[in-house]
Amino acid sequence: MTRASDTARLLGAGATILDGTTISTADNDPQLILTSTDADGDKGPVVQFTRDSGSPADNDTLGRVQFLFDNDAAEVTTAVQIEAQVTDVSNGSEDASLNIVTMQAGDTSSRMKVNSSETVFNDDSKDTDFRVESNDKEGMIYVDAGNNRVAIGSTVPPAQSLTVVGASGANIGSLENGILALTTGTGVIGDTRMLFGVVDDNYGWIQTGDYGVAYRTLILNPTGGNVLVGTTNQSPAEGTGNGVRIGNNGTSQFSSNGDAGLTSNRTGDNGNVMTFRRDGTLVGTISVTGSSTAFNTSSDYRLKENVTYDFDATARLKQLKPCRFNFIADKDTTVDGFIAHEVSDIIPEAVIGKKDAMTKEVLYVDDDEIPDGKKIGDVKEASKIDAQGIDQSKIVPLLVKTIQELEARITTLENA
């Protein structure tokens, strides 16, 4: 038989061919045409491959479509193959797979494989790049197979494991060896970068500027429970430089004595290790020398008004009630001091907070996980003491003025 039309005339409608049939032609006309004249909205024409096995088994090949050609050695070669398999024949849990294979460098290679759990491109691990094109970008996603790298927004082979390119063509992010770098890109606001990294599976860090050049501004040590905030060009294990360390660590990596919860370190010359501002104006510092620490509050005359030196310090000082006591949480230690509310009327600037103040009760609301026996509106967390505090350094000016007044009285008596 030479043409499909001849075959159809000979067999008639609904005919079944039990043996292999070859349809050949010497020209470029179609060898087989399937036409459906059905006018409804259903499918048609339909090509159906059926494997009617009496003993179906997992991983049976259900059908194969092959595109063959003769190579220049007159060998019949498979150029492209589409193969379907049933991977699970269990009733109610059937699974199947589809594999598209092409000839590549003289060997067959899986280009796309679809199964019940995943869709895999390049399953045979060949040096074959993968590209997804968007409306106006050739490389919305580009996999450089030979170098094991991925680019987003570019078809240029990336220099890092992952490279993200913005609309302007500038690199805006990359990932390599556990280091994630984000950059605005040249021409936006400069080359400012933020880098995120992991070192030795123990330390995580964030820094600004190029890797190895600028300073790490945040270092995390999960094994020691530490957070280092500041500037350092050292490794996270050394933990030196200017900055603040927060955490509790039994090693010397973040604090010299091994038990400091908060450490601020200044290297080199004397100066501030911590500054305090309100609305941008400096109001206090903590500074160090080679052997001491100073706690400083603003005292510049240019910041003050209504300055007076004429007041009775002795009378006010006599109203204070120094006492001895221990804190409830530290029963075995007796200290000298003041009761905050007894000072507030005499030196109000020395006392923080209000007498008998309490924090508000926290109630259960709709978004909470409400335990058994509780309901919305019940107390979740009871009120606690909102304790007053005292800055005893504020008493010093009163002490000095009182001494001066007493000295004047003594001098008067001595000269009488």
Q: Give the model's pLDDT for residue 17.
A: 67
Task: Reply yes or no on whether the pLDDT at 369 is more than 70.
Answer: yes
Task: Reply yes or no on whether the pLDDT at 75 is more than 70.
Answer: yes
Q: Give the model's pLDDT for residue 205.
A: 65
Sequential DSSP letters for 335-404: EEE--HHHHHTTSGGGEES-TT-BPPPEE--TTS-PPTT--TTSEEE---B---EE-GGGGHHHHHHHHH
Task: Reply yes or no on whether the pLDDT at 76 is more than 90.
Answer: yes
Q: Give the model's pLDDT for residue 173.
A: 79
> Using an 8 Å Cβ cutoff, are 226 and 251 in contact?
no
Task: Reply yes or no on whether the pLDDT at 148 is more than 80.
Answer: yes
List pLDDT tens digits, range 17-44: 667 778 888 888 888 888 999 988 888 8
Which residues are 68's β-sheet partners?
A: 78
Q: Give the model's pLDDT for residue 169.
A: 75
Q: Which domains does the chain have, with CATH numbers?
A: 1-35 (no CATH), 59-128 (no CATH), 131-265 (no CATH), 266-307 (no CATH), 313-414 (1.10.10)
Q: Give the model's pLDDT for residue 309.
A: 94
List pLDDT tens digits, range 257-293: 445 556 777 777 899 988 999 888 899 999 999 899 9
Q: What is the pTM of this model?
A: 0.51
Q: Give the model's pLDDT for residue 265.
A: 74
Q: Give the model's pLDDT for residue 29.
A: 86
List pLDDT tens digits, range 184-233: 554 333 455 666 666 555 566 666 655 554 555 666 665 555 566 655 54
Q: Give the model's pLDDT for residue 247.
A: 47
Residues 223, 226, 228, 232: is their CA dihedral positive or negative? Answer: negative
List pLDDT tens digits, range 106-144: 999 999 999 999 999 999 999 999 999 999 888 899 999
Of 224 and 103, the one with more pLDDT:
103
